[in-house]
Structure 1
Amino acid sequence: MSLACPSCGISNPPDTRYCEDCGVELIQPAAPLEPPPPRPPLPMAAASVLRGTSPPTRITEDVFVRPRSSPPVSGTRLQLTEAFLVHLGTGARLEVPVEKSIAYIGRANDDFPPDIDVSHLPDSDIVSRIHAAVHIQETTFFLEDAGSSNGTFLNDQPLPAGARHRRLLQPGDTFYLGKEHKVGFTFDLAT
Protein backbone atom coordinates (compact mmCIF):
# COMPACT_ATOMS: atom_id res chain seq x y z
CA MET A 1 0.00 0.00 0.00
CA SER A 2 1.51 3.31 -1.02
CA LEU A 3 0.96 6.77 0.47
CA ALA A 4 -0.34 9.54 -1.78
CA CYS A 5 1.19 12.97 -1.13
CA PRO A 6 -1.54 15.45 -0.12
CA SER A 7 0.35 18.23 -1.91
CA CYS A 8 1.50 16.81 -5.24
CA GLY A 9 -0.39 13.51 -5.43
CA ILE A 10 2.73 11.34 -6.08
CA SER A 11 2.66 7.80 -4.66
CA ASN A 12 5.30 7.11 -2.01
CA PRO A 13 6.38 3.84 -0.35
CA PRO A 14 4.39 3.03 2.82
CA ASP A 15 7.23 3.64 5.32
CA THR A 16 8.16 7.07 3.91
CA ARG A 17 7.70 10.06 6.21
CA TYR A 18 8.22 12.81 3.58
CA CYS A 19 7.14 12.91 -0.07
CA GLU A 20 10.05 11.82 -2.29
CA ASP A 21 9.03 14.39 -4.92
CA CYS A 22 8.07 17.62 -3.04
CA GLY A 23 9.23 16.95 0.57
CA VAL A 24 5.83 17.50 2.26
CA GLU A 25 5.30 15.48 5.43
CA LEU A 26 3.07 12.53 4.68
CA ILE A 27 0.15 11.68 6.90
CA GLN A 28 0.37 8.10 8.04
CA PRO A 29 -2.91 6.22 8.18
CA ALA A 30 -3.97 5.56 11.72
CA ALA A 31 -3.55 2.05 12.95
CA PRO A 32 -6.86 0.31 13.33
CA LEU A 33 -8.08 0.65 16.87
CA GLU A 34 -8.61 -2.46 18.85
CA PRO A 35 -11.93 -2.60 20.62
CA PRO A 36 -11.63 -2.25 24.40
CA PRO A 37 -11.75 -5.49 26.31
CA PRO A 38 -15.29 -6.47 27.31
CA ARG A 39 -16.33 -5.47 30.81
CA PRO A 40 -17.46 -8.14 33.20
CA PRO A 41 -21.24 -8.26 33.64
CA LEU A 42 -22.66 -6.30 36.57
CA PRO A 43 -23.83 -8.26 39.57
CA MET A 44 -27.59 -8.74 39.66
CA ALA A 45 -28.00 -6.31 42.59
CA ALA A 46 -26.08 -3.57 40.78
CA ALA A 47 -28.01 -4.12 37.56
CA SER A 48 -31.33 -3.77 39.35
CA VAL A 49 -30.20 -0.56 41.07
CA LEU A 50 -29.29 0.99 37.69
CA ARG A 51 -32.97 1.21 36.86
CA GLY A 52 -33.46 3.94 39.55
CA THR A 53 -33.40 7.67 39.00
CA SER A 54 -30.87 8.79 41.63
CA PRO A 55 -27.49 10.24 40.64
CA PRO A 56 -24.78 7.58 40.21
CA THR A 57 -22.58 6.60 43.12
CA ARG A 58 -19.06 5.33 42.51
CA ILE A 59 -18.61 1.78 43.79
CA THR A 60 -15.39 0.75 42.04
CA GLU A 61 -13.04 2.52 39.69
CA ASP A 62 -15.08 1.80 36.60
CA VAL A 63 -18.55 0.66 37.66
CA PHE A 64 -21.28 3.16 38.53
CA VAL A 65 -24.57 2.22 40.10
CA ARG A 66 -27.46 4.28 41.34
CA PRO A 67 -28.22 4.11 45.06
CA ARG A 68 -31.45 2.48 46.09
CA SER A 69 -34.16 4.80 47.22
CA SER A 70 -34.79 4.63 50.94
CA PRO A 71 -37.63 2.38 52.02
CA PRO A 72 -40.92 4.07 52.79
CA VAL A 73 -41.29 5.12 56.40
CA SER A 74 -44.59 4.59 58.14
CA GLY A 75 -46.03 7.84 59.39
CA THR A 76 -45.09 11.33 58.39
CA ARG A 77 -41.92 13.11 59.37
CA LEU A 78 -43.95 15.27 61.75
CA GLN A 79 -45.28 12.17 63.50
CA LEU A 80 -41.79 10.75 63.90
CA THR A 81 -40.00 13.80 65.33
CA GLU A 82 -41.16 17.06 66.81
CA ALA A 83 -38.70 19.81 67.68
CA PHE A 84 -39.30 22.76 69.98
CA LEU A 85 -37.57 25.91 71.15
CA VAL A 86 -38.42 26.40 74.82
CA HIS A 87 -38.16 30.10 75.77
CA LEU A 88 -36.03 30.47 78.88
CA GLY A 89 -37.97 33.44 80.28
CA THR A 90 -41.56 32.29 79.85
CA GLY A 91 -41.36 28.56 79.18
CA ALA A 92 -43.27 29.08 75.90
CA ARG A 93 -42.73 26.19 73.48
CA LEU A 94 -42.27 27.29 69.88
CA GLU A 95 -42.57 24.45 67.39
CA VAL A 96 -39.86 24.02 64.75
CA PRO A 97 -41.54 23.11 61.41
CA VAL A 98 -39.71 19.83 60.78
CA GLU A 99 -41.40 19.38 57.39
CA LYS A 100 -39.12 22.16 56.07
CA SER A 101 -35.41 21.91 55.37
CA ILE A 102 -34.75 25.37 56.86
CA ALA A 103 -36.79 27.16 59.53
CA TYR A 104 -36.01 30.85 60.00
CA ILE A 105 -36.23 32.45 63.45
CA GLY A 106 -36.96 36.17 63.83
CA ARG A 107 -39.51 38.92 64.32
CA ALA A 108 -42.60 39.19 62.13
CA ASN A 109 -42.20 41.41 59.08
CA ASP A 110 -44.05 41.97 55.81
CA ASP A 111 -41.15 41.21 53.48
CA PHE A 112 -40.11 37.80 54.75
CA PRO A 113 -42.10 36.43 57.69
CA PRO A 114 -40.04 34.01 59.78
CA ASP A 115 -41.10 30.41 60.29
CA ILE A 116 -40.61 30.83 64.05
CA ASP A 117 -41.88 34.24 65.15
CA VAL A 118 -40.46 35.50 68.45
CA SER A 119 -41.94 39.01 68.32
CA HIS A 120 -44.42 38.21 71.12
CA LEU A 121 -41.65 37.33 73.59
CA PRO A 122 -40.15 39.79 76.11
CA ASP A 123 -37.12 41.78 74.85
CA SER A 124 -37.68 40.59 71.27
CA ASP A 125 -36.78 44.06 69.99
CA ILE A 126 -33.10 42.96 69.99
CA VAL A 127 -33.91 40.09 67.61
CA SER A 128 -33.42 40.73 63.88
CA ARG A 129 -36.29 40.17 61.48
CA ILE A 130 -34.46 37.12 60.14
CA HIS A 131 -32.03 36.37 62.95
CA ALA A 132 -31.12 32.70 62.76
CA ALA A 133 -31.96 29.51 60.88
CA VAL A 134 -32.47 25.93 61.97
CA HIS A 135 -31.39 23.53 59.21
CA ILE A 136 -33.25 20.24 59.34
CA GLN A 137 -31.88 17.02 57.89
CA GLU A 138 -34.20 14.18 58.87
CA THR A 139 -33.73 14.06 62.66
CA THR A 140 -30.51 16.13 62.76
CA PHE A 141 -30.66 19.87 63.38
CA PHE A 142 -28.11 22.65 62.86
CA LEU A 143 -28.18 26.28 64.04
CA GLU A 144 -26.89 29.12 61.88
CA ASP A 145 -26.75 32.87 62.47
CA ALA A 146 -28.48 34.41 59.42
CA GLY A 147 -26.48 37.66 59.50
CA SER A 148 -28.18 39.14 62.55
CA SER A 149 -27.25 42.54 63.95
CA ASN A 150 -26.80 41.41 67.56
CA GLY A 151 -25.38 37.90 67.12
CA THR A 152 -26.38 34.36 68.04
CA PHE A 153 -24.81 32.42 70.90
CA LEU A 154 -24.93 28.61 71.15
CA ASN A 155 -24.04 27.20 74.58
CA ASP A 156 -22.50 30.61 75.46
CA GLN A 157 -20.24 30.57 72.38
CA PRO A 158 -20.71 33.23 69.66
CA LEU A 159 -21.87 31.74 66.39
CA PRO A 160 -20.39 33.57 63.39
CA ALA A 161 -22.86 34.36 60.60
CA GLY A 162 -23.10 32.13 57.55
CA ALA A 163 -23.69 28.56 56.48
CA ARG A 164 -20.09 27.48 56.93
CA HIS A 165 -20.36 28.24 60.66
CA ARG A 166 -23.50 26.22 61.35
CA ARG A 167 -23.34 24.11 64.46
CA LEU A 168 -25.05 20.89 65.45
CA LEU A 169 -28.07 21.55 67.65
CA GLN A 170 -28.78 18.82 70.19
CA PRO A 171 -31.52 18.38 72.78
CA GLY A 172 -30.66 20.42 75.87
CA ASP A 173 -28.52 22.95 73.97
CA THR A 174 -29.16 26.57 74.94
CA PHE A 175 -28.91 29.44 72.50
CA TYR A 176 -29.51 33.17 72.69
CA LEU A 177 -30.61 35.61 70.01
CA GLY A 178 -28.79 38.88 70.59
CA LYS A 179 -26.33 40.21 73.11
CA GLU A 180 -26.90 40.28 76.85
CA HIS A 181 -28.67 36.89 76.76
CA LYS A 182 -32.14 38.43 76.87
CA VAL A 183 -33.91 36.12 74.39
CA GLY A 184 -32.86 32.54 75.00
CA PHE A 185 -34.11 29.06 74.19
CA THR A 186 -33.42 25.46 75.02
CA PHE A 187 -33.69 23.04 72.09
CA ASP A 188 -35.94 20.04 72.72
CA LEU A 189 -37.04 16.97 70.71
CA ALA A 190 -40.08 14.77 71.15
CA THR A 191 -40.50 11.55 69.17
Structure 2
Amino acid sequence: MIVCPNCNHPNPDGAVQCEACYTPLPATTNCPSCGATVQADAAFCGQCGYNLHSAGVPHVHTAVAATVTPDIPVEVPPLDPPDPLLELLQPDALGISSSTNSHPSGSSLPATEVAVPPEPAPSVAAQPVVSGKSIPTPPPLEPAPASEAELPPPAAPAPAPTATASKTQLQQITARLIHVQTDLLIELPQNLSVIHIGKPNDRIPPDIDVSGFPNSEIVSRIHADIRVEGDAHYVEDVGSSNGTYINNLPLLPGNRHRLRPGDRISLGKGDLMTFLFQLA
Protein backbone atom coordinates (compact mmCIF):
# COMPACT_ATOMS: atom_id res chain seq x y z
CA MET A 1 0.00 0.00 0.00
CA ILE A 2 1.50 3.34 -1.08
CA VAL A 3 0.12 6.46 0.64
CA CYS A 4 0.00 9.57 -1.55
CA PRO A 5 2.20 12.34 -0.04
CA ASN A 6 -0.23 14.97 -1.41
CA CYS A 7 -3.73 13.79 -0.42
CA ASN A 8 -2.91 10.73 1.84
CA HIS A 9 -4.91 8.44 -0.45
CA PRO A 10 -3.88 4.75 -0.10
CA ASN A 11 -2.80 3.32 -3.45
CA PRO A 12 -2.03 -0.33 -4.32
CA ASP A 13 1.57 -1.53 -4.42
CA GLY A 14 3.30 -0.82 -7.69
CA ALA A 15 1.17 2.26 -8.51
CA VAL A 16 3.04 5.01 -10.32
CA GLN A 17 0.65 7.91 -9.68
CA CYS A 18 -2.13 8.61 -7.13
CA GLU A 19 -5.58 7.37 -8.08
CA ALA A 20 -7.24 10.42 -6.45
CA CYS A 21 -5.08 13.45 -7.35
CA TYR A 22 -2.76 11.95 -10.01
CA THR A 23 0.36 12.97 -8.09
CA PRO A 24 3.50 10.91 -8.98
CA LEU A 25 4.13 8.37 -6.19
CA PRO A 26 7.61 7.73 -4.72
CA ALA A 27 9.42 4.53 -5.62
CA THR A 28 9.08 1.72 -3.06
CA THR A 29 10.93 -1.42 -2.06
CA ASN A 30 10.46 -4.22 0.48
CA CYS A 31 12.09 -4.39 3.91
CA PRO A 32 14.52 -7.38 3.98
CA SER A 33 13.58 -8.03 7.62
CA CYS A 34 9.75 -8.00 7.70
CA GLY A 35 8.87 -7.59 4.02
CA ALA A 36 6.89 -4.37 4.57
CA THR A 37 6.69 -1.84 1.75
CA VAL A 38 8.97 1.15 2.34
CA GLN A 39 10.10 4.05 0.19
CA ALA A 40 13.33 3.55 -1.70
CA ASP A 41 15.01 6.53 0.00
CA ALA A 42 13.93 5.56 3.56
CA ALA A 43 16.64 4.93 6.19
CA PHE A 44 14.59 2.71 8.53
CA CYS A 45 11.58 0.41 8.12
CA GLY A 46 8.34 1.93 9.46
CA GLN A 47 7.07 -1.49 10.65
CA CYS A 48 10.02 -3.17 12.40
CA GLY A 49 12.57 -0.32 12.54
CA TYR A 50 15.18 -2.28 10.56
CA ASN A 51 18.18 -0.22 9.38
CA LEU A 52 17.83 -0.29 5.62
CA HIS A 53 21.36 1.04 5.07
CA SER A 54 22.89 -2.02 6.74
CA ALA A 55 20.91 -4.26 4.35
CA GLY A 56 22.87 -3.05 1.38
CA VAL A 57 20.52 -0.27 0.30
CA PRO A 58 22.86 2.36 -1.07
CA HIS A 59 22.62 5.79 0.45
CA VAL A 60 22.98 8.56 -2.08
CA HIS A 61 25.40 11.27 -1.13
CA THR A 62 25.56 14.51 -3.02
CA ALA A 63 28.88 14.88 -4.74
CA VAL A 64 30.68 18.04 -3.88
CA ALA A 65 32.82 19.43 -6.66
CA ALA A 66 36.33 20.26 -5.50
CA THR A 67 37.70 23.57 -6.60
CA VAL A 68 41.23 23.28 -8.00
CA THR A 69 43.25 26.37 -8.61
CA PRO A 70 45.57 25.96 -11.65
CA ASP A 71 49.24 26.70 -11.14
CA ILE A 72 49.72 29.91 -13.07
CA PRO A 73 53.21 31.40 -12.89
CA VAL A 74 53.21 34.91 -11.53
CA GLU A 75 55.36 37.28 -13.46
CA VAL A 76 57.27 39.71 -11.28
CA PRO A 77 58.28 42.86 -13.12
CA PRO A 78 62.01 43.65 -12.97
CA LEU A 79 62.99 46.23 -10.40
CA ASP A 80 64.32 49.55 -11.69
CA PRO A 81 67.82 50.46 -10.56
CA PRO A 82 67.93 53.20 -7.93
CA ASP A 83 68.57 56.74 -9.01
CA PRO A 84 72.21 57.70 -8.24
CA LEU A 85 71.16 61.24 -7.37
CA LEU A 86 68.91 59.91 -4.57
CA GLU A 87 71.83 57.94 -3.17
CA LEU A 88 73.93 61.08 -3.04
CA LEU A 89 71.16 63.00 -1.25
CA GLN A 90 70.79 60.37 1.48
CA PRO A 91 72.78 61.15 4.65
CA ASP A 92 76.13 59.29 4.61
CA ALA A 93 74.93 57.11 1.74
CA LEU A 94 78.56 56.45 0.64
CA GLY A 95 79.87 55.89 4.19
CA ILE A 96 81.72 59.24 4.27
CA SER A 97 82.01 60.79 7.71
CA SER A 98 81.12 64.47 7.92
CA SER A 99 84.02 65.20 10.27
CA THR A 100 86.96 63.65 8.36
CA ASN A 101 85.62 63.46 4.75
CA SER A 102 88.10 60.61 4.26
CA HIS A 103 87.81 57.44 2.21
CA PRO A 104 87.99 54.14 4.04
CA SER A 105 91.23 53.38 2.12
CA GLY A 106 92.80 56.62 3.37
CA SER A 107 92.45 58.72 0.25
CA SER A 108 90.61 61.97 0.68
CA LEU A 109 87.71 62.83 -1.57
CA PRO A 110 86.40 66.30 -2.25
CA ALA A 111 83.12 67.05 -0.48
CA THR A 112 80.13 67.25 -2.72
CA GLU A 113 78.16 70.43 -2.18
CA VAL A 114 74.46 70.24 -2.76
CA ALA A 115 72.61 73.46 -3.44
CA VAL A 116 69.72 73.86 -1.04
CA PRO A 117 67.13 76.39 -2.06
CA PRO A 118 66.50 79.09 0.56
CA GLU A 119 63.42 78.75 2.65
CA PRO A 120 60.73 81.31 1.89
CA ALA A 121 60.07 83.89 4.55
CA PRO A 122 56.93 83.12 6.59
CA SER A 123 54.01 85.17 5.44
CA VAL A 124 52.34 87.27 8.10
CA ALA A 125 48.60 87.63 7.80
CA ALA A 126 47.43 91.22 7.76
CA GLN A 127 45.78 92.12 11.03
CA PRO A 128 42.51 94.05 10.80
CA VAL A 129 42.61 97.63 11.93
CA VAL A 130 40.74 97.98 15.19
CA SER A 131 39.23 101.33 15.96
CA GLY A 132 39.84 102.88 19.32
CA LYS A 133 36.17 103.55 19.83
CA SER A 134 34.27 101.25 22.17
CA ILE A 135 32.09 98.65 20.51
CA PRO A 136 28.66 98.28 22.12
CA THR A 137 27.94 94.87 23.58
CA PRO A 138 25.20 93.14 21.59
CA PRO A 139 22.07 92.20 23.57
CA PRO A 140 21.75 88.53 24.63
CA LEU A 141 20.10 86.32 22.08
CA GLU A 142 16.62 85.22 22.95
CA PRO A 143 15.71 81.60 22.25
CA ALA A 144 13.78 81.16 19.05
CA PRO A 145 10.13 80.29 19.61
CA ALA A 146 9.36 76.64 19.06
CA SER A 147 7.51 75.79 15.93
CA GLU A 148 3.90 74.74 16.04
CA ALA A 149 4.90 71.16 15.26
CA GLU A 150 7.13 70.98 18.38
CA LEU A 151 4.60 72.49 20.76
CA PRO A 152 2.50 69.91 22.63
CA PRO A 153 -1.20 70.05 21.85
CA PRO A 154 -3.19 71.99 24.43
CA ALA A 155 -4.96 69.81 26.94
CA ALA A 156 -8.66 69.60 26.27
CA PRO A 157 -10.68 71.03 29.12
CA ALA A 158 -12.58 68.52 31.16
CA PRO A 159 -16.25 68.52 30.21
CA ALA A 160 -18.41 70.02 32.85
CA PRO A 161 -20.89 67.61 34.36
CA THR A 162 -24.24 68.12 32.77
CA ALA A 163 -27.52 68.02 34.54
CA THR A 164 -28.53 64.95 32.54
CA ALA A 165 -25.43 62.98 33.63
CA SER A 166 -25.94 63.93 37.28
CA LYS A 167 -29.58 62.94 37.06
CA THR A 168 -28.64 59.58 35.47
CA GLN A 169 -26.20 58.81 38.27
CA LEU A 170 -28.76 59.59 40.92
CA GLN A 171 -31.48 57.53 39.29
CA GLN A 172 -31.96 54.01 40.61
CA ILE A 173 -34.08 51.19 39.31
CA THR A 174 -37.13 50.89 41.52
CA ALA A 175 -39.65 48.06 41.51
CA ARG A 176 -43.38 48.61 41.88
CA LEU A 177 -46.69 46.78 41.80
CA ILE A 178 -49.79 48.01 39.97
CA HIS A 179 -53.14 46.79 41.31
CA VAL A 180 -55.05 45.71 38.22
CA GLN A 181 -58.56 46.10 39.70
CA THR A 182 -58.03 49.71 40.95
CA ASP A 183 -54.98 50.77 38.88
CA LEU A 184 -53.27 51.79 42.15
CA LEU A 185 -49.45 52.06 42.13
CA ILE A 186 -47.46 50.59 45.05
CA GLU A 187 -43.71 51.32 45.30
CA LEU A 188 -41.69 48.45 46.82
CA PRO A 189 -39.51 49.55 49.78
CA GLN A 190 -35.86 49.87 48.69
CA ASN A 191 -34.40 49.38 52.17
CA LEU A 192 -35.86 45.90 52.70
CA SER A 193 -34.50 42.60 51.40
CA VAL A 194 -37.73 40.73 52.28
CA ILE A 195 -41.12 42.39 51.64
CA HIS A 196 -44.11 40.73 53.31
CA ILE A 197 -47.51 40.86 51.54
CA GLY A 198 -50.67 40.19 53.53
CA LYS A 199 -53.00 41.73 56.10
CA PRO A 200 -52.36 43.04 59.64
CA ASN A 201 -51.46 40.35 62.19
CA ASP A 202 -49.47 40.00 65.43
CA ARG A 203 -46.82 37.59 64.13
CA ILE A 204 -45.43 39.07 60.87
CA PRO A 205 -46.82 42.57 60.11
CA PRO A 206 -47.15 43.09 56.34
CA ASP A 207 -44.99 45.60 54.47
CA ILE A 208 -47.69 45.76 51.76
CA ASP A 209 -51.13 45.78 53.39
CA VAL A 210 -53.90 44.71 51.01
CA SER A 211 -56.72 44.82 53.55
CA GLY A 212 -58.15 48.00 51.98
CA PHE A 213 -58.39 46.56 48.43
CA PRO A 214 -61.54 44.95 47.02
CA ASN A 215 -61.84 41.16 47.53
CA SER A 216 -59.18 41.23 50.26
CA GLU A 217 -61.01 38.43 52.11
CA ILE A 218 -59.33 35.85 49.84
CA VAL A 219 -55.86 37.01 50.93
CA SER A 220 -54.27 35.40 53.99
CA ARG A 221 -52.76 37.49 56.77
CA ILE A 222 -49.31 36.04 55.92
CA HIS A 223 -49.68 35.36 52.21
CA ALA A 224 -46.50 35.90 50.10
CA ASP A 225 -43.01 37.41 50.25
CA ILE A 226 -40.93 39.29 47.68
CA ARG A 227 -37.17 38.79 48.20
CA VAL A 228 -34.60 41.23 46.76
CA GLU A 229 -31.18 39.79 45.84
CA GLY A 230 -29.05 42.33 44.00
CA ASP A 231 -31.02 43.44 40.95
CA ALA A 232 -33.29 40.36 41.03
CA HIS A 233 -36.71 40.11 42.69
CA TYR A 234 -38.23 36.76 43.68
CA VAL A 235 -41.79 36.01 44.86
CA GLU A 236 -42.73 32.98 46.97
CA ASP A 237 -45.87 31.73 48.70
CA VAL A 238 -45.44 31.39 52.49
CA GLY A 239 -48.36 29.05 53.19
CA SER A 240 -51.43 31.01 52.16
CA SER A 241 -54.92 29.44 52.24
CA ASN A 242 -55.93 30.26 48.65
CA GLY A 243 -52.46 30.10 47.03
CA THR A 244 -50.40 32.42 44.83
CA TYR A 245 -50.50 32.39 41.02
CA ILE A 246 -47.85 33.73 38.58
CA ASN A 247 -49.19 34.40 35.09
CA ASN A 248 -52.23 32.21 35.94
CA LEU A 249 -50.01 29.28 37.01
CA PRO A 250 -49.93 28.14 40.65
CA LEU A 251 -46.76 28.77 42.65
CA LEU A 252 -46.19 25.83 44.98
CA PRO A 253 -45.26 26.61 48.60
CA GLY A 254 -41.48 26.43 49.05
CA ASN A 255 -40.80 27.42 45.44
CA ARG A 256 -40.03 30.91 44.23
CA HIS A 257 -40.28 32.67 40.90
CA ARG A 258 -37.95 35.39 39.57
CA LEU A 259 -40.08 38.35 38.61
CA ARG A 260 -39.72 40.04 35.25
CA PRO A 261 -41.42 43.23 34.08
CA GLY A 262 -45.01 42.44 33.12
CA ASP A 263 -45.41 39.34 35.32
CA ARG A 264 -48.92 38.92 36.73
CA ILE A 265 -49.16 38.10 40.46
CA SER A 266 -52.54 36.87 41.71
CA LEU A 267 -53.20 36.46 45.43
CA GLY A 268 -55.85 33.76 45.77
CA LYS A 269 -58.00 32.01 43.20
CA GLY A 270 -60.22 33.57 40.56
CA ASP A 271 -57.82 36.43 39.62
CA LEU A 272 -59.66 38.76 42.03
CA MET A 273 -56.56 40.31 43.68
CA THR A 274 -54.01 40.84 40.90
CA PHE A 275 -50.81 42.92 40.66
CA LEU A 276 -48.48 43.65 37.72
CA PHE A 277 -44.73 43.77 38.43
CA GLN A 278 -42.85 46.66 36.81
CA LEU A 279 -39.36 48.26 36.97
CA ALA A 280 -39.03 52.05 36.76
**Band of TM-score, shorter chain:** 0.5 to 0.7
2:191 to 95, 99, 106: 99
2:262 to 152, 159, 172: 172
Question: What fraction of aligned residue pairs are identical, expressed as a percent?
Answer: 46
Mapped to 2, the partners of 1:88 and 1:136 lie a distance apart of 23
Q: In the alignment, is the contact (CA less than 8 A) between 1:176 and 1:183 conserved in 2?
A: yes
Tell me the residue number matched to 1:82: 174
Q: How far is 1:98 from its partner?
A: 2.5
Tell me the residue number matched to 1:121: 213
- The gaps in structure 1 that reach 5 residues or longer are 1-73
Paired residue secondary structure (1:80): coil
Alpha-carbon RMSD across the aligned residues, in angstroms, is: 1.3
Q: Which one has a larger percent strand, Structure 1 or Structure 2? A: 1
1:152 to 244, 262, 265: 244
Length, aligned pairs only: 112
Give TM-score, length-normalised by structure 1: 0.56
Give TM-score, length-normalised by structure 2: 0.39
For 2:178, the aligned partner's letter is: V
Q: How far is 1:152 from its partner?
A: 0.1
1:188 aligns with 2:278: yes
Mapped to 1, the partners of 2:223 and 2:190 lie a distance apart of 18
- The gaps in structure 2 that reach 5 residues or longer are 1-168
Tell me the residue number matched to 1:141: 233
Query: Could you say which structure has the larger radius of gyration?
Result: 2
- Relative contact order (C-alpha < 8 Å, sep 6+): which is higher? 1
Q: How far is 1:110 from its partner?
A: 3.5
Q: How far is 1:83 from its partner?
A: 1.0
Q: How far is 1:108 from its partner?
A: 1.9
